[in-house]
Structure 1
Amino acid sequence: MTKLRILLSQRFPALASRDFSIFWVGHLFSLIGTSMQSTALPLLAYRISGRPFDLGLIGFATTLPTFFLALPGGVLIEHVDKRKAIIFLQIVMMLDTFVLAFLALSGVIQIWQIVVTSLILGTASAFEITARQAMLIELTGREALPNAIALQSTAFNLSRVLGPALVAPILLLSSRNGEGWIFLLNGISYAAIIIGLFFVHAKYKAPVSPRTRPIMEEFREGTQYLVKNSSVGLIIVIAATIGIFAMPITQQLPVVSKDLLGQIGDTKSVVDLRNSLLYTAQGVGALTAAFSIAMNNTARWRGLRLILGEAAFILGMIAIPFSRSLWPTLIIIALMGWGAVTQLATMNTLIQLQVPDNLRGRVFSIYLWALQGVAPFGSLLIGWMTQELSLSRTALICGVISLAIIGGIQVFQPKVRQVTVADGLT
C-alpha cells in the first residue's frame, strides 16, 4: 500500500496531500449524483413540454445567477474561510435537490418548478465554484496546483461517464417517476463532500483578511490586472465566446436523441437509452481528456493543447448537422467532450498559475463570469434558434461564429498560446 501511495504521489503529486485526497474522493461521489441529475433533468423537461426553448430556459435559469453574482462573489470569497463557505453552499444545493426530488416523485412537477429550483442551484453554484477553485491551492500548494486542477477535471468527467450510465437502468427499471429517484440519489450524494470537508484542513491557507475597501474598488484592481496582462484577458474573451455560442449546444442533446436521430416507432425506452448513450459518449471523451492532462500537464504542451481542444469542440458542432445515425454521432459527441475539457482545463490552469494569490479569487470570478455568466443568454439564444430553425442549422451557424472569433484570436494574437511558456512551470 505504501509503495502504491508513493507511485501515485509521483505521478499525481496533488494526491500526496491527505486533505486534497479526502476532498477529491468526496467531491467525486457528489459529482456522480450531479451528473445523473444533469442527464435526467433535460429529458424530463423535454418530455413534459416538448419544446427545445424550455431546455434553453432551464439552462438560462441555472447560469443567470453567475452573470450577477460571480464578480462580487470573487471579491467576497477572498475574505471568508473557503472551506466553511463550500460546506454551507453544498448544504443549500442538497436541500434544493431534495425539493426537486419530492416534486418529481409526487408526480406534480412542472416546467416552472424546474426553472425555480435551477435558479436556486445556480445561485449557490455561482459562489461555490469560485470558492472551490480558490481553495485548491490551499490544499496542495502552488507546485502541485496544475495536477490538482487536472484531477478535479478528471473527477468531473469520470462522473460524466458514470452518471449517464447509471441513469439508463434506473429509468428502465422505474415504471414511473424514475427521474425523481435520480434526483433523490443526487441529494444524498452531497453528503459525501459535506462530510469530507469536515475532515479537511487547508495547510497552505493564507490568513483571511477583513474587507476594508469597497467591493468595486477591489474588483477594479482585478480588471486592471487583466488590462496589463493581455494574454489572460484574451483567454477570458475565448471563454465568453464558448459560453455564448458553443457550450449551450450541449443542452440540446435530448433534441439530438429524439429528433435528429429519431426513427419511426421509437418508444420512450429507446429514446431514453439513446439519450444516455449520448451523455455517456460526451463523458468518455471528457474523461479521456482530463486523465491525459492529469498524467502530463507540462507547460510546453499547453498552447498546442488549447488549440486542439478548441478545434475538436467547434468542428464537432459543425459536423452535427451531417450525422443522421447513432454511432457517428456518438463519435462526434465524444470528440466534443474531449475538446471541451481540454480547452477549459488548460485555460483554468493558465489563469491560476499566472494570477497572484491576492487576486486569484477576483480574476477567476471574471473568468467564470465570462464562461458561465453570459451563458444564460447563449442558452436562450440557442434554445430559440433550435426551436425556430432546427438544431442542425443552429449548430452549424454557432460553430462557424465560434470558429471565426476563436480562430481569429489564435491567428492574430499568438500571445494567448505563449503564456504557457511564460509561467516557467513544468
Structure 2
Amino acid sequence: MAGARAVPGDAGARGAMFRSLRNRNYRLFAIGGVVSNVGGWMQRTAQDLLVLDLTNGSATALGVATALQFLPMLLFGLWGGMLADRYPKRRVLLVAQSLMGLLALTMGVLTVTGAVREWHVYVMAFTLGLIACVEVPTRQSFVVEMVGRKDLPNAIALNASSFNLARVVGPAVAGLLIHMLGGTGPIFLVNAVSFLAVLGGLLLMRASELTTPDPVPRVKGQLREGLRHVLERPDLLMPILMIAFVSMFTQSFSMSIALMAREVFAAGPSSFGLASSMFAVGALGGALMAARRTKPSRRLLVGGAISFGLFQIATGLAPGYPVYLLLLVPTGVALITVNTTANAGVQLAAAPEMRGRVMGLYVLVFTGGAPVGAPLLGWVSDLGGPRTGVVIGGALTLIGVGAAIMLTKAIGRRTHAAVRGVAAAAAGA
C-alpha cells in the first residue's frame, strides 16, 4: 500500500519539475533550444580542436579565440540589454539566430574546402560575440514573457537542463564525427542546419499568449538608470557580483578540459568529448535539481560558488584520467547551481521595464570575464602546464567569492547611508 501511494507523489514531483512545458510557446522555445544547443556544443568542440590543430597545440591561441568570442560582450553588452528593452524580443531573436546560422555555414565551408586559417577562427569568434551581445540578454529576458513570474525559476532551470543535455550529447557526437569524417568542417555545417529548429519554434509561437511589456522609449541616461537600479538593490547586486567573479574562470575551465584531456592525459578526440560530457552530466543533474526549487536563496548561491572553486582545484590535482572524469561531475553540479540561482534571483528582483538592461549587465559579467580569465590561464598553462592553470583558476574563484560578499556589504552600507542622509535632509527641511 505504501508503494502504491508513492507513485502519485512521484508523478506530482515530475509534473512540478516540468511544469513550464505546459505552456505551448515555451515548449516550442525549449524544443528548438535543445536542437540548436546540441549543434552549438558540437561547434564549440570543433572550434577548440580546430584552433589546436592550426596552432600546433597552443594553449595561448585557444585562450585568445575564447577571449575574442566574449570580448564584444564586455565592450557592448549593456547596449544589447538596452535594445532588448526597446524592441519586440521575438523579432530580435529571429534576426540574431539567422545571423548565427549564416556564420556557422560560412565557417563550415571554409573548413571543408581547406581554406580555413587561424585568423578566420578569430574573426568568427569575435563576430559571434557581437551578435550574442544582443541575442543573449534578449533570450534571457524573453523567458518571463512566455511563462510568467510564477514559473520563471522552473523555466530557467529547464533551460539550463536543455543547455547541459546538449553539453552531454554535443561534444561526444562531435568527437565521434570528427574521428569518422576526418575533420572539423562538417560539424560547423551541422550546427548551421540546427538553427532551423530555433527559427521554426519562434515563428510558430502565438503572439497573443506572450506577456509583452510596453517597449521602453529611447531617451538619454537609460544605461545609467539600469546601473543605478542594480546598485541600489542588494538582491540584484549580490548575484551579479558573484557571477562576475565565478564566470571569469568558468570559460577558462571549459577550455582547460581540452588541455587536460589532450596534453596531460593524452586523450584523443573521442575521449576529449567524453570529458566535456562528464562535466555536462553534472551540470544537467544540477539543473534538474534546480527545477524542483521554487525560490533562489543567497546561501545556495554562495555554497555553489565555493564548491565550484574547490572542485576546480581537485580536478587539477587528479592523479589519473578516470579520477579526473569522476571529479568533473560534481564540478558541473556546483557550477550550474550558481548559474541557475543567480539567473532566477536577478530576473525575479528586476523591475519589468528594467529587465533587459539588468540582464544585459548580468550577461556582460557572466561572459565578459572570459577576455581576462581565458588568456591569463592559457598563458599560465603554457608556462606551468594545464594542471597549474586549473588549480590557479580554482583558487582565484574562491578569492572572487569572498570579494563579491565584501563588495556587496560595502556598497550596501554606502547606499543605506546615502538614503538616510537624504531622509534626514528632507525631514530637516
Same fold, judged at TM 0.5 (above) = yes
Tell me if the contact between 2:17 and 2:154 (Cα under 8 Å) persists in the aligned partners: no
**TM-score computed with the length of structure 1 as normaliser:** 0.89
Deviations 1:103-143 (A, max 9, x none): 11112212111111111111111111111111111111111
Other-structure match for 1:75: 82
What is the CA distance between 1:310 and its match in structure 2? 1.3
What is the CA distance between 1:388 and its match in structure 2? 2.0
Q: Do structure 1's residue 283 and structure 2's residue 280 form an aligned pair?
A: yes
Q: Do structure 1's residue 333 and structure 2's residue 340 form an aligned pair?
A: no
Q: Do structure 1's residue 104 and structure 2's residue 111 form an aligned pair?
A: yes
Other-structure match for 1:132: 139
Counterpart of 1:94 in structure 2: which amino acid? G
1:247–1:314: structure 2 CA closer, same or farther, 3 Å change rule? farther
Other-structure match for 1:86: 93
Other-structure match for 1:159: 166
Q: Do structure 1's residue 182 and structure 2's residue 178 form an aligned pair?
A: no
Other-structure match for 2:391: 396
What is the CA distance between 1:62 and its match in structure 2? 0.6
Partner Cα separation in structure 1 for residue 346 and residue 114 of structure 2? 45
Other-structure match for 1:205: 211
Other-structure match for 2:298: 303
Other-structure match for 1:24: 30
What is the CA distance between 1:282 and its match in structure 2? 1.0
SS at 1:209 equivalent: coil
What is the CA distance between 1:326 and its match in structure 2? 1.0
Equivalent residue in structure 2 for 1:142, among 137, 142, 149: 149
- Structure 2 gaps of 5+ residues are 1-10, 412-429
Equivalent residue in structure 1 for 2:70, among 44, 63, 67: 63
Other-structure match for 1:247: 251
SS at 1:234 equivalent: helix
Q: Do structure 1's residue 224 and structure 2's residue 231 form an aligned pair?
A: no
Larger Rg: 2
What is the CA distance between 1:183 and its match in structure 2? 1.0
Other-structure match for 1:422: none
Q: Do structure 1's residue 38 and structure 2's residue 37 form an aligned pair?
A: no
Partner Cα separation in structure 2 for residue 212 and residue 322 of structure 1? 52
Counterpart of 2:192 in structure 1: which amino acid? G
Other-structure match for 2:54: 48
Other-structure match for 2:351: 356
Partner Cα separation in structure 2 for residue 405 and residue 11 of structure 1? 32
Tell me if the contact between 1:246 and 1:314 (Cα under 8 Å) persists in the aligned partners: no
What is the CA distance between 1:246 and its match in structure 2? 4.0
Tell me if the contact between 2:275 and 2:325 (Cα under 8 Å) persists in the aligned partners: yes
Partner Cα separation in structure 2 for residue 136 and residue 280 of structure 1? 26
Tell me if the contact between 2:172 and 2:270 (Cα under 8 Å) persists in the aligned partners: no
Counterpart of 1:46 in structure 2: which amino acid? L
Deviations 1:52-71 (A, max 9, x none): 00111111111011012210
Deviations 1:360-405 (A, max 9, x none): 1111111111111232122221112211232222222222222123
Other-structure match for 1:267: none
Deviations 1:149-182 (A, max 9, x none): 11111110100011122123212212x32x1111
SS at 2:63 equivalent: helix
What is the CA distance between 1:86 and its match in structure 2? 0.3
More deviation, 401-410/366-375: 401-410
Tell me if the contact between 2:51 and 2:62 (Cα under 8 Å) persists in the aligned partners: yes
Deviations 1:308-349 (A, max 9, x none): 321332112211332131111011222222111110111000
Tell me if the contact between 2:60 and 2:375 (Cα under 8 Å) persists in the aligned partners: yes
Count of paired positions: 400
Identical-pair percentage: 27
Partner Cα separation in structure 2 for residue 189 and residue 183 of structure 1? 10
Partner Cα separation in structure 1 for residue 369 and residue 318 of structure 2? 29
Tell me if the contact between 1:153 and 1:341 (Cα under 8 Å) persists in the aligned partners: yes
Counterpart of 2:227 in structure 1: which amino acid? T
Tell me if the contact between 1:323 and 1:329 (Cα under 8 Å) persists in the aligned partners: yes
Partner Cα separation in structure 2 for residue 90 and residue 354 of structure 1? 28
Counterpart of 1:184 in structure 2: which amino acid? L
Equivalent residue in structure 1 for 2:312, among 306, 309, 317: 317
Tell me if the contact between 1:244 and 1:374 (Cα under 8 Å) persists in the aligned partners: yes
Partner Cα separation in structure 2 for residue 169 and residue 227 of structure 1? 47
1:226–1:411: structure 2 CA closer, same or farther, 3 Å change rule? closer
More deviation, 314-323/153-162: 314-323
What is the CA distance between 1:302 and its match in structure 2? 3.1
More deviation, 64-73/398-407: 398-407
Q: Do structure 1's residue 193 and structure 2's residue 198 form an aligned pair?
A: yes
Aligned pairs for 1:263-278 (under 5 A) are 270-278=267-275
SS at 2:297 equivalent: helix
1:332–1:11: structure 2 CA closer, same or farther, 3 Å change rule? closer
Q: Do structure 1's residue 375 and structure 2's residue 370 form an aligned pair?
A: yes
Tell me how large the CA RMSD over aligned residues is. 2.2
Counterpart of 1:218 in structure 2: which amino acid? Q
Partner Cα separation in structure 1 for residue 212 and residue 275 of structure 2? 43
Q: Do structure 1's residue 236 and structure 2's residue 236 form an aligned pair?
A: no
1:405–1:11: structure 2 CA closer, same or farther, 3 Å change rule? closer
Tell me if the contact between 2:281 and 2:329 (Cα under 8 Å) persists in the aligned partners: yes
Tell me if the contact between 1:30 and 1:190 (Cα under 8 Å) persists in the aligned partners: yes
1:340–1:11: structure 2 CA closer, same or farther, 3 Å change rule? closer
